[in-house]
Amino acid sequence: MSSILRNAASIVGVGETEYCKVGRATRSEFELACIAVLRAIEDAGLEVSDVDGLCAYASERSAPVALAPALGMSELQFVNLYPGGGNSAAGIVHNAALAVSAGVANTVVCYRSLCQGALRFGRARAGHGSSAQPMGASIGGPQAFTAPFGLFSPAQMYALDARRHMHEFGTTSAQFGAVAVASYANAQRNPRAVMHGHPLTLEQHQASRMIADPYRLYDCCQESDGACAVVVTSSERARDLRQPRVLITAGAQGMERGDGNERQSRPAPLWTTAGQASVARRLYRDAGIGPEDIDVIQVYENFTGQVVMALEDFGFCERGEGGPFVESGAIDWPNGRFPINTSGGNLAEAYVHGLSLVIEGARQLRGTSTSQVEGAAHCLVVGGPSAPPSSALVLSRD
Amino acid sequence: MPLPAPEPATAAFWEGCAVRELRIQKCAECGTHRHVPAPVCPHCRSFDHTWEASQGVGHVFSYIVVHHSVHPATADHVPYNVAVVQLDDCGGVFVTSNVIGCPNDGLRVGMRVRLVWEQVDASLSLYRFAPV
């Protein structure tokens, strides 16, 4: 039986602010959110008064309850938060599509604004999401079982999984580097990218300083300031709008049994995966296609090793073969079979918690990417790997 | 380094550390071990638990070497390692800690380790591991 969501909703507008390195934005995070949302509505050829739904990340500080009155929005019928950070990237669009296809809302704007400021994600933080604080001299909760030993940052936590993948499958740092090199190469063709004009070779990756061995500097996503937004409406209504429709063919979200925030409590097999195998299975089922039908991939890079594991979870290679797969050129534009992160992604375009990857997916299907995959019909968008509950989308050309 | 702030659900664990006992929570109903401490057994959903002292022998399941400090307390201590140790007993739970008595470039996944205690302030010792 086909999913009721299949192709029922479309992305009809995208909006972005300029992207810059962390701390360099000249406008507030909230102002950036307003700009991105207005640009997305404008791109769609719609009016603010057409919007009747908002979807945001639960960690969003420019919350819908502040944004809607600030932009003079009309009555809202659907307001929704997806738990977490980068894991929400596809999830908020999935939720918008569900609301639209169920008739709960007509036009939903999904958005993310991020100026990390004093609470940089790469620093030691106490707690999760929007309630996180810089970590002080004592720590309660589950972090009392990690921080006293010096385990603080996402790079450190995710490097533990990368090490395990290297141990079990022989994956190498140079293979992780292939992910970064591919992303940086794409960013050189994308003038919006923060790393435009800063190409990266594998030798530079291998010579870059260790952050948390095995992860080097270029294995880690950037920290950026910026905002972006996506407008979702019914595919029927989308026919009459300004842009070519980008069909939301399927969405999936969720988490594996035993996965969770307390990473040391996860079952052993999850340490070498992105925790997305069940999301992938349901996504392909509902899309009615498989990995062989995907033309281009936007996969959230928190860290390069997690991209390798996500590509395994989504069936582009066998479990444990992700290292040789990314090294083979399969992920490189334009000649690889599955080019990834054609804008430069989180590593080299900007880190806006992955919603920018949805926008790049839409660009590929409109035919307007700066690293356009010729004839791209289906784009896979993968939210934060190994960051449950995760999410993914299949977007399709009309 | 930030020190643990005991809370009702974790006080028994940290009291164990004060007397140099690595206590792992165990479901009183089905006997499943869990770490970190949690109010309910994810296997049988019982809220009753006991504590079992681990013998503290196990192996390094994974490890990292931190070179880039992200907390003021570690600024003068990089590079340092963080290891996840899988205990031989107590259901093979994972415990996050450090390996001492071994150079960072000598660490290996699978390396056998045993528990050692380190006094970190007047009332608290922390569990670390050393090569067997």
> What CATH number has the domain spanning A2-117+221-397?
3.40.47.10
pLDDT for B92 beyond 60: yes
Q: How confident is the model at residue A319 (pLDDT cuts 50, 70, 90)?
A: very high
User: Is A208 near chain B, with CB under 8 Å?
Assistant: no
Q: Give the pLDDT mean for B23-32.
A: 98
Q: Give the pLDDT mean for A168-179.
A: 98
* 3-state SS assignment for residue B48: coil
pLDDT for B45 beyond 90: yes
Residues on chain B touching A123 (C-beta within 8 angstroms): 70-71
- Residue B131 has a pLDDT of 98
Which residue of chain B comes nearest to A264, CA vs CA? B94
- Residue B29 has a pLDDT of 98
pLDDT digits 0-9 by tens, A238-281 = 999 999 999 999 999 999 999 998 999 999 999 999 999 999 99
User: Is B11 near chain A, with CB under 8 Å?
Assistant: no
- Residue A195 has a pLDDT of 98
User: Is B78 near chain A, with CB under 8 Å?
Assistant: no
Which tokens in the block code for residue B122? 């007047």
Which tokens in the block code for residue A99? 């609301």
pLDDT for A1 beyond 90: no
Q: Give the pLDDT mean for A15-31.
A: 95
pLDDT for A197 beyond 60: yes
Is B71 in Cβ contact with A145 (below 8 Å)? no
Is A161 in Cβ contact with B62 (below 8 Å)? yes
- Residue A129 has a pLDDT of 67
Which residue of chain A comes nearest to B63, CA vs CA? A160
A215: annotated active-site residue: no
Give Cα A226 distance to the centre of its chain: 14
User: Is A148 near chain B, with CB under 8 Å?
Assistant: yes
Q: How confident is the model at residue A2 (pLDDT cuts 50, 70, 90)?
A: low
pLDDT digits 0-9 by tens, A92-128 = 999 999 999 999 999 999 999 999 765 677 778 777 6
Residues on chain A touching B36 (C-beta within 8 angstroms): 142, 145, 262, 264-265
Which residue of chain A comes nearest to B98, CA vs CA? A149
Q: How confident is the model at residue A290 (pLDDT cuts 50, 70, 90)?
A: very high
Are the CB atoms for A157 and B93 separated by under 8 Å? no
Q: How confident is the model at residue A13 (pLDDT cuts 50, 70, 90)?
A: very high
User: Is B26 near chain A, with CB under 8 Å?
Assistant: no
Distance (Å, whole) CA A51 – CA A78: 10
Q: Give the pLDDT mean for A6-18.
A: 98
Is A265 in Cβ contact with B98 (below 8 Å)? no
pLDDT digits 0-9 by tens, B104-116 = 999 999 999 999 9
